[in-house]
């Protein structure tokens, strides 16, 4: 995770929540009053967000002391203490909600990704995410997917070519779309083509696609169509795949399965912040 970008993002998140000041905390507590909080797991799952906790409190107060007790990607149990933070009470209270929200969401994504990896149970096929992320949180959500044992698809529209059905419709054909792209990009950029029929798969192969996606296809269709794809072309399945039918795709031979639900509809892991009175 890019720590400089993370710090800039955290500053924006705090600015949104704190505004000019934390009116309640500043009226109750003096600047010199020191306190301690702990992050406590209220459910089982995969933890993700150690750098959020570590950097978050230090953005508000560089002198804050933070002790992380678990690492990203580790399994946590209900009742387990995940982290401790000490410093001025007003700073702890200013930061705890933003930090907690992020850690809960990232841990929820990591937990769901881990579940998908276990359900698929494949030594060949990898689970990956999509661009269906929360605006402003993409770096964090994609990091959480990795913490859960998954892989990242492209980060945005800028780092890979992905020719989808609408591109094909406007261009006239897969061949024309790929030809246009190849004439303008360098050798470091991959080209993926989304396909919905066997004829499109054959056209994508002929056009020289680097990656072929089987979009909204059944395991049986993929098993048949993948025979027409040379070994040098990466394959991906996407669309209509849930935890309920995911295991059926493990025997298709596809290289990647991209799952939008890892980030767009995931439930946050239940974690709380408790005050320690000493």
Number of Cβ atoms within 10 Å of the Cβ of 159: 10
Environment class of 172 (CB within 10 Å of its CB; exposed 0-12, middle 13-18, buried 19+): exposed
The alpha carbon torsion through 231, 234, 235, 239 (nearest 10 deg) reads 180
Environment class of 69 (CB within 10 Å of its CB; exposed 0-12, middle 13-18, buried 19+): middle
Pairing relation of β-strands 126-128 and 271-276? Answer: unpaired
d(CA 263, CA 54): 23
Catalytic residues: 97, 132, 164, 194, 215
């Amino acid at each position: 995770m890019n720590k400089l970008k993370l710090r800039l993002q955290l500053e924006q998140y705090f600015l949104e929540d704190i505004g000019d000041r934390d009116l309640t905390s500043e009226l109750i507590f003096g600047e010199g009053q020191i306190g301690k909080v702990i992050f406590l797991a209220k459910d089982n799952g995969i933890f993700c967000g150690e750098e959020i906790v570590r950097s978050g409190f230090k953005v508000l107060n560089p002198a804050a002391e933070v002790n992380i007790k678990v690492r990203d990607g580790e399994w946590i149990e209900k009742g387990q203490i995940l982290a401790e933070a000490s410093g001025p009470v007003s700073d702890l209270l200013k930061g705890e909600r933003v930090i907690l929200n992020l850690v809960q969401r990232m841990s929820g994504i990591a937990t769901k990704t881990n579940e998908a990896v276990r359900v698929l149970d494949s030594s060949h096929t990898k689970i990956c995410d999509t661009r269906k992320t929360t605006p402003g949180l993409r770096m964090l959500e994609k990091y959480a997917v990795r913490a859960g044992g998954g892989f990242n698809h492209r980060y945005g529209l800028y780092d890979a070519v992905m020719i989808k059905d609408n591109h094909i419709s406007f261009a006239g054909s897969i061949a024309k779309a790929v030809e246009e792209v190849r004439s303008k990009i360098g050798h470091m950029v991959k080209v993926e083509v989304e396909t919905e029929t066997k004829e499109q798969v054959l056209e994508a192969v002929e056009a020289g696609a680097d990656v072929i996606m089987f979009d909204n296809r059944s395991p049986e269709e993929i098993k048949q169509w993948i025979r027409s794809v040379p070994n040098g072309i990466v394959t991906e399945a996407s669309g209509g795949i849930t935890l309920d039918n995911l295991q059926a795709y493990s025997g298709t031979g596809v290289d990647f399965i991209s799952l939008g639900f890892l980030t767009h509809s995931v439930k946050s892991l239940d974690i709380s912040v408790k005050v320690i009175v000493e």
